Amino acid sequence: MKIQRPRGTADILPEEVARWHFVEDTVRRVAALYNYREIRTPIFESTELFIKSEGESTDIVSKQMYTFQDRGDRSLTLRPEMTPNVIRAYLEHSLNQKEKLTKLYYLGPIFRYEKPQAGRYRQHHQFGVEAIGCAEPALDAELVEMIMYFYGELGLAGLKAVVNSVGCTQCRPGYSALLRNYLKTKLQELCADCQRRTEVNPLRVFDCKQPLCAAAISQAPRVSDNLCDTCSGHFRTFCALLEESGIAYTVKPELVRGLDYYTRTAFEIISEDLGAQNAVGGGGRYDDLIESLGGPSVPAIGFGTGIERILMIMEERGVTFPTAGGGAVSVAVWEEECARAGRGVLRSLRRAGIGAEMDFCHGSLKSQLRRAHKSGSPFVLVLGRDELSRGMVKIKEMSTGSEQEVSLEKVGETLKGNITK
């Protein structure tokens, strides 16, 4: 029996990698435009970090984490998201002492044990940013602008922003009590998970995708109607700044996101191409998270977006991906005694910064040319006894079939001029 990849994972094959490079290059370019610097954190962390960050009642902690005991009997978890990792690193390395506003971005895999779905795997990849140290709604609006600009640079038009405010520690307790009282009148109409959430964390009922639960909570009080004056003012300013930026948005009163640490601003970017699970990316403010992890009281906001979903939407919309480079130049030899000279040409080309390869399996010239064509080589250098005796090499351009002879000493210079045209 063949060993196959684990369910919910994917192999990214060589012919697909150029698409990933395109998206990743766009990530780095857009991050630089907004002055975000890359941070790379471990793939696994202490389990306690995610429990304290996200809350035990969230689906991520209660159902989706890959947790294991290491040989030292420590509980570790493959990161189900990246924000807690970044904040842990921010605190551990005292980044707050280096600058008032710390702007970081990340790009890498995350792990969640959930039913695989369109564009979402148990191991999938995410791009996200964290802006730490500013509480102003202008920063919130800029993050929405940034993620929309990123999608636009990938050729994804027509995505929509939905926004809400989830309140703060001043107004949310009163709202939670109001919502809990309402849900108690609907308990028999709720699924078992939502019945539990009613007592533990009633806001989590808005995460449920069960149709019966959606009907039961359709008339539930919304957090946006129960904000304190500070949160209400922050949200009004945020929305006005989105309008100033020309970003179309819809207020969605039931949007709470799936994590306990969000405060005030919450947003998602949705695509109609994805059906019910239509979120491409999203984020929000988390002004209390750093303090809850033992740090100072520092406001922060961030977003995350899944790379696999982005690629899926790009393909479905027919967005043109750049192709991989034209392939390496191929060196083909007529006779075995020319192989040594061919290997010398290989070395000289590579030292000149030109990608080159040679068939070491001693195939016929015809098979070498066929292999070069299949691999996408833009040029083939043909070297036989006759060419070698004259110190020459034949350059065959694969796209046109045209040929020219140049001296061995000038082959690198000639190719470099043609390849960089």
Contacts of 211 (CB under 8 A, 6+ apart): none
What's 329-419's CATH class? alpha beta
Amino acid 406 reads: V
> What pLDDT does 29 receive?
96
| Residue ranges per structural domain of the chain | 14-171+227-316, 329-419
> What pLDDT does 275 receive?
59
Average of per-residue pLDDT across 81-110: 93
Q: Do domains 14-171+227-316 and 329-419 have the same CATH topology?
A: no
Q: What is the pLDDT of residues 305-326, one digit of tens each?
A: 999 999 988 888 888 877 655 5
Contacts of 263 (CB under 8 A, 6+ apart): 166, 167, 168, 169, 284, 285, 286, 287, 288
Q: What CATH number was assigned to the domain covering residues 14-171+227-316?
A: 3.30.930.10
Over 80: is that where the pLDDT of 260 sits? no
> What pLDDT does 421 receive?
46
Average pLDDT, the chain: 88
Over 90: is that where the pLDDT of 276 sits? no
Give the best-scoring range by mean pLDDT among 63-67, 83-87, 325-329. Answer: 83-87
| Widest distance between CA atoms in the chain | 94
Q: Which of 110, 82, 105, 144 is nearest to 270 (CA)?
A: 144
Predicted TM-score (pTM) of this structure: 0.86
The span from the CA of 326 to the CA of 300, in Å, is 44
Q: What is the pLDDT of residues 156-173, one digit of tens each?
A: 888 899 999 999 989 888
Question: In the block, which residue shows the tokens 């009590």?
Answer: 177
> What pLDDT does 323 receive?
63
